[in-house]
Amino acid sequence: MRIVEVGPRDGLQNEKAPVPTDVKLRFIARLAEAGLKEIEATSFVSPKWVPQLGDAAELWPQLPPGPLYSALVPNQKGLARAIEVGVKRIALFTAASDAFTQKNINMTVDASLEVFRQVIASFRGAGIPPADQWMRAYVSTAFECPYAGRIEPGRVAEVANRLFEMGVDEVSLGDTIGVAAPVEVFRLADALDSRRKSQIAWHFHDTHGTGIANVSAALDLGYTAFDSSAAGFGGCPYAPGAGGNLATEDLVYFLERTGMPTGVDVDRMARASEEVLAVLGRAPTAKSQLAALAA
């Protein structure tokens, strides 16, 4: 079972109140102490587009040792900034909907794949030891786009297959606005290349409370990698209506209770986001976090 913690990146990117770099670093250290082994720490996107993560180059060299860290990279400029500070695991991002990529990265899906082709070549040629290199690609709006409506599973599979052909190690399928129900997970899985099952992660947002039901559906189908965010932080600045990510606390509770060990300490996990919540002036809302804090 793999959990990819995206709180420091997806969780914070949409927050208007600045979260100081040292608070982010303590947040990440607590996530590591809780037992999370893969953490998406930040984004090397344009700071004009996402000011909250404008401190990526300052944050990266100070990350506490332990977990495998990755960072979002949109283009060659982002890659150059990331490589300069030692990033070895990158996450590219596109979508199944042109309407969404236009708003999010100012290009069509096809144009983004062309940019990625060049970014992948630069990344693979950057002198990072092959065993340390890792590249995921997100396909956002895998079920529905806030601008173009419902998305056909075949379209998502087509974009995922093109990314695999370009050599990415993993594709993460994003329910960007958190609307899907389990039947849609089954339908999408039907359209995917079943030989790639171990290279697919599911990235659920929990706007309508269907996140855990969707995890359960994907588990039944044999998938074992899920993205989630501490305290359920999150949302995409270019996806109106997106609620928070599936909360890591809820995911960990569900997996452990199902008999699937996660290596994450529930109490430490529940406390990991306390300082960020205080900076944002917000109370916890994730159900399993509230239950752990009350115990």
Angle formed at CA 266 by CA 260 and CA 271, multiple of 5 degrees: 150
Nearest to 136 by CA among 190, 85, 88: 88
What's the min distance (Å) between Cβ of 72 and ligand HMG? 6
- Binds 46, which of Mg ion, ligand HMG, none (CB < 5 to 8 A, cut-off by type)? ligand HMG
What's the token pair of residue 29? 């250290």
Residue 145 falls in the annotated catalytic set? no
Q: Determine if 5 is a binding residue for Mg ion (CB under 5 A).
A: no
49 or 147, CB closer to ligand HMG?
49
DSSP class of 41: E
63 or 91, CB closer to Mg ion?
91
Which member of 5, 10, 170, 249 binds Mg ion (CB under 5 A)? 10
Burial 50-87 (b: 16+ CB within 10 A, else e): bebbbbbeebbeebeeebebbbbbbbeebbebbbebeb
Which member of 2, 26, 37, 81 binds ligand HMG (CB under 6 A)? 81
Distance CA 184, CA 206 (A): 15
Angle formed at CA 213 by CA 194 and CA 144, multiple of 5 degrees: 70
- Binds 244, which of ligand HMG, Mg ion, none (CB < 5 to 8 A, cut-off by type)? none
Chain positions 88 to 147 lying near Mg ion, rule: CB under 5 A, are none
123 or 270, CB closer to ligand HMG?
123
Q: Determine if 178 is a binding residue for ligand HMG (CB under 6 A).
A: no
The answer to whether residues 106 and 141 touch, using CB atoms and an 8 Å cutoff, is no
Chain positions 253 to 282 lying near ligand HMG, rule: CB under 6 A, are none
Task: Give catalytic residues, as residue numbers.
Answer: 236
Chain residues that interact with Mg ion, rule: CB under 5 A: 10
